[in-house]
Amino acid sequence: MLPVTLTLDPAFTVGPVRRRTFGSFVEHLGRCVYTGIHDPAHPSADENGFREDVIEMTRELGISTVRYPGGNFVSGYRWEDGVGPREDRPTRLDLAWHSSDPNLVGLDEFMAWAAKTGVEPMMAVNLGTRGIQEALDLLEYCNVPGGTHFSDLRRANGHEEPYRIKMWCLGNEMDGPWQIGHKTAEEYARLAAETARAMRLLDPTIELVVCGSSSSDMATFGTWEATVLAETYEHVDYISAHAYYWEEDGDLASFLASAVDMDHFIESVTAAADYVRAAGKHSKRVNISFDEWNVWYQKRAESKPPTGDDWPVAPVLLEDRYNVADAVVVGNLLISLLRNTDRVHAASLAQLVNVIAPIMTEPGGRSWKQTIFHPFAQASQHAVGDVLQVGIDAPTYGTARFGDVPVADAVATRDPETGAVAIFAVNRSLTETAVLTVDVRALTVSGAGNLEVVESTTLSNPDHTWAATADDSTSVLPRDNDTAKVVDGVLTVEVPPVSWNMLRLA
């Protein structure tokens, strides 16, 4: 077995666990909205047509924030199309995904869904085909109590109280040539700065996310962040980071080490932001909103949009079916986000339902949890208090993409009030069981006695390609791991190859 030692000390923390780390994303893309969260024909549909089974799963998943309505979709979106009587709403072509949108779900419906589900909305404005005035109109509709054109329009539409949305994205992936209204760094920086300035004049309490580069593979990555932040630094709170380029393409060893790449990505965006802070002699610090991340198999057929005269409503798009290895990688990416909680202040797993998602549905029918649902739900529920620095002493293994990497990765959290500790760990080895060892005596609350294991679970399977389906979503779940024990203040646990693991101590 592979020996892995974790070193924890409550005196050394990274920062607080941030609830916004456990956000998600709902875009008008494929079946995420229509037959995903919204399906009036479903037996569980509420009075607004929203699926109650999906709402319950979203709560179980532990989602804190939801980014809406895009994504690439937002860069051609007219928000006014989605408010008012549904019978009067136009059907529009969505150029981003070569689809049609009947606008049956719009801003007011989404806000009703968010309130019922108990999530914080994160709204994106269109800076592709639109600009400052349209962003101000949307903000007025959402946040002004009344007495103005758009706030009174909201009230006339049946929503007397303002929504008071706090988080706003200034466009989406504006450096991408695939983006409607794609701009150079200089063009976008000026538009974003002026939009941010105007929006703050209307509502000084909002928090703003400026677009970072859409991928670290972009030729302008790094210089884009520096150029955009040089213009916008004093007007924004976060810079976005997006990453999807992790997928298993025959190189399982490299795929399992994907969090190495996420760590480097976060380090690079942080360096660019801090360079602007130093060069501009700014006192505040701009942090990261990692508001799109997931495993995504972009070369598969389901990731190819329709073409020609085919502009369907809610086509099957990006409906990846995730296996056990994908779940281990998603769990490891969450470890990376938590490990960087000092600079990553928000994150959004993209997306929530059907589209590269932890939740799947059949139109009018069944819903089920994909493998990636489980590590996210466990971390969201049990990561509480402070994120601890974790020293990891582990053997390494070779990867074609990242060189030699540790066979194990882990993060730990501790509630300073109760002393409860959660450890989230992955074994990246393809073949070998690892034994995790950690001295937990330093983590004991004074006078509270010794820490003991209250829960230990492992998600793994001899066949790492096993994927959940509507017919079988429960054969592979996090199972009790009875090898975990604490003896004389030392915790040990055996974790199988290609596995996600959670330990809770109290």
CB neighbour class for 109 (10 Å; exposed up to 12, middle 13-18, buried from 19): buried
The pLDDT assigned to 288 comes to 98
User: What would the two tokens of residue 48 be?
Assistant: 């607004």
The pLDDT assigned to 353 comes to 98
Is 36 a residue whose pLDDT tops 80?
yes
Mention every residue, 6+ apart, whose C-beta is less than 8 A from residue 263.
336, 339, 340
pTM of the model: 0.97
**Rounded CA separation 291/240 (Å):** 6
CA-based angle 495:497:499, to the nearest 5? 65
Closest CA to 381 of 429, 404, 415, 428: 415
The pLDDT assigned to 155 comes to 98
Is 172 a residue whose pLDDT tops 90?
yes
For 293-324, write each residue's pLDDT tens digit. 999 998 888 888 999 999 999 999 999 999 99
DSSP annotation of 442:
G
Q: At what angle do helices 132-143 and 149-156 cross, to 10 degrees?
A: 50
The residues annotated with a catalytic role in the active site are 173, 292
- What mean pLDDT do residues 436-444 have? 91
Token pair 């203040």 is found at 489
Is 386 a residue whose pLDDT tops 60?
yes
Question: Structural domains in the chain?
Answer: 2-9+387-505 (2.60.40.1180), 18-382 (3.20.20.80)
The values of phi and psi at residue 474, to 5°, are -125, -5
pLDDT bucket at 248, cuts 50 / 70 / 90: confident
The pLDDT assigned to 446 comes to 58
CA-based angle 401:402:408, to the nearest 5? 125
The pLDDT assigned to 447 comes to 57
